[in-house]
Chains A and B, each alone.
Chain A
Amino acid sequence: MSNLEKSAKNGVNVDALLAARAALTQAPEAAQFKWRATSQWLNGTHSRTTISDFHGLGTEQKHRQNFQFDTDHPEIFASEDNGPTPVEFVLVGLAGCLSAGIAAVAQNRNIQLRSVKATLEAGMDIQGILGIDEKVRNGFDGIRVHYDIDADATPEQIAALVAQSQKRSAVFDVLTNPTDVHVTVSKAK
């Protein structure tokens, strides 16, 4: 079923995605992407990260514009609260990824979405990052995501959208499975 025959309009060009999927099946090297960020420390716990270019489809790519994001810590940590904490940015990524997936899957299944609202909460015992208790991990002890979705579909179909989105989500995978993180350093001249 092409988009022409589908009545749902969620703003996702599924035909283009399916065409890309078919093309990349034949050319797996073009499917190799690199996502990038550069970050500048400003002061205290305040940093500014810029997103502008990435690599994919065999060539360098650029976003339509540069995006800048400030991260900081709240005042209760004696910081200036110039932006969300970095761990909150992780929630930004997860919510953005899952909701995008829900829209894409809904479009592919011809389900009209009217409202997709996610509420996220991550638990963290900061005895970990403060080095108080070695048995406590630094990161989240869990993330809870709740979706409120209004759509032309049964509750089971809506649950299936959310499940399928998790199955194909990059950020869900990054958070639920181990990733090798390699940090190098050089002394700036």
Chain B
Amino acid sequence: MSARPKVAVWKFSSCDGCQLTLLDCEDELLAIAGAIEIAYFPEATSAELEGPYDISLVEGSVTTAHDVARIHEIREESGLLVTIGACATSGGIQALRNFADVKEWAPIVYASPEFISTLDTSTPIADHVKVDLELRGCPISKEQLVETVLALLNGRPPRLPSTSVCFECKARGTPCVMVANGTPCLGPVTHAGCGAICPAYDRGCYGCFGPMESPNVNALVAQWRALGMRDDGIVRALRTFNANAPAFREASRELV
């Protein structure tokens, strides 16, 4: 990688919140911007450099035929391709269409659905091209983003947790909301990284970082049932911002 790597930021179907997280690194932004060459980042600058790019950060999910072609072009032009956020890593909230019929949905929102061009599914970037690194979260964590950029700049692997949110509650000293209050919590099966915010605010984790590696979703479903949750409620909890992540998707299908 050259002294100042060329970095591009790409947007697919998304809310822009993960790109915004980059601009929210207020203390680090100018230092990072000095260490890289921002080659393409239309949300922040109208300056553009031609590819190839050393690092591409990709936000959003694939929902149109044009998106499919575009992600292949971006992959061709990119050294490392890093997906940022739940949309890019699992399909996002808009992947709820994968469990429904888009033809029935379009007229609900648009008076002239024939003007709308979209795919039947919302899919993660890795379903279409090779992805080198994934940052989870809806939105991504600022700390994980800075760590990843620093690691890539220094040619080392980023230190990202592979544990569940439970570990972050313990580290933070938050009493378990499920044990102490009987609050249904997705923390035991959810990928760490947010810093266990929800339990610190007296609510159960809602899984916005998606499933951890090898989650025991069935055991958690049993526990939620024991707390009095109905299966339709458990299905809805599994089907939010990472509904299409395989572990959540399959577990929710078994309950329908």
* Bound pair (A, B): no
